[in-house]
Amino acid sequence: MKILVAVKRVIDYNVQIRVKEDNSGVVTDNVKMSTNPPDDNAIEEAVKIKEAGKATEIVAITIGDDKAQETVRKALAVGADRGIHIKADGIIEPLAVSKILKAVVEKEKPDLVFMGKQAIDDDCNQTGQMLAALLNWPQATFASKIDVKDKSLEVTREVDEGLETIEVNIPAIVTCDLRLNEPRYASLPNIMKAKKKPLDQMSATDLGVDTKPRIEQIKVEEPPKRKAGIKVANVAELVNKLKNEAKVI
């Protein structure tokens, strides 16, 4: 069984996001970048499935500029067998990403496609669902537990009401939740070995995909500052303020 894992390079989750002075976007120059956290869970789960003897190959794929290679190399360092880098500049919207992944899936013919449930930069939560629609494959989103069977997957999903367990036939698309597993760290020897693993490069144009954005980003600005809270002397004063000032009761 072959597993294709999509990973994305984003601003590290520990970094304080700053808006550009011209409000055209957020500052990315000289900012620490890393793999999108749920994508780390996707890679970890694929590696665990291979270690259990239920998969034979893991292919990591990313889409972006030259620096996006770092994301694939990290995936190779934690257990992926080879990588694919689709070169594309600028903002790549979920639909374009899905079309690129569809073209790669048709070429690589994986049995499973793993990815994070959403990216922490745009929070779109669309790529997995769009890819499933384009391929006409079953999908299991927000996966917090995956059990591989002969020709199907039993997936526990995190939904608003709690947990939902579904079974989907293979081939399938799975988007991974942060609670699926605990991603491992790449050791120095494995980082060195990853440099020798194959990494194929191609462009979105080679795959016949138009990455021109369909949505125009007009302005980016920081949210308004929150007002400081106040202390009240007793419950009666609290109720009075909630009723007459906040007008929530």
Residue 173 has pLDDT above 90, yes or no: yes
Rounded Cα–Cα distance for residues 48 and 79 (Å):
9
- State the average pLDDT over residues 31-49: 93
Rounded Cα–Cα distance for residues 101 and 60 (Å):
11
Residue 213 has pLDDT above 90, yes or no: no
Residue 129 has pLDDT above 90, yes or no: yes
Q: In this prediction, what percent of the chain has a pLDDT beyond 90?
A: 59
| Domain range summary for the chain, segments of one domain joined by + | 2-213
Q: Which fold has domain 2-213?
A: Rossmann fold (3.40.50)
The model's confidence at residue 206, banded by pLDDT at 50, 70 and 90, is confident
pTM value? 0.84
Own/partner long-range contacts of 30-35 (Cβ < 8 Å, ≥24 apart)? 33/9, 33/67, 33/70, 34/9, 34/10, 35/7, 35/8, 35/9, 35/10, 35/71, 35/74, 35/75
Greatest C-alpha distance within the chain: 70
User: What is the average pLDDT value for the chain, to the nearest integer?
Assistant: 91
- For CA atoms 103, 106, 108, 109, the dihedral sign is positive
- State the average pLDDT over residues 56-79: 92
The model's confidence at residue 91, banded by pLDDT at 50, 70 and 90, is confident
Question: In this predicted structure, what is the pLDDT of residue 57?
Answer: 94
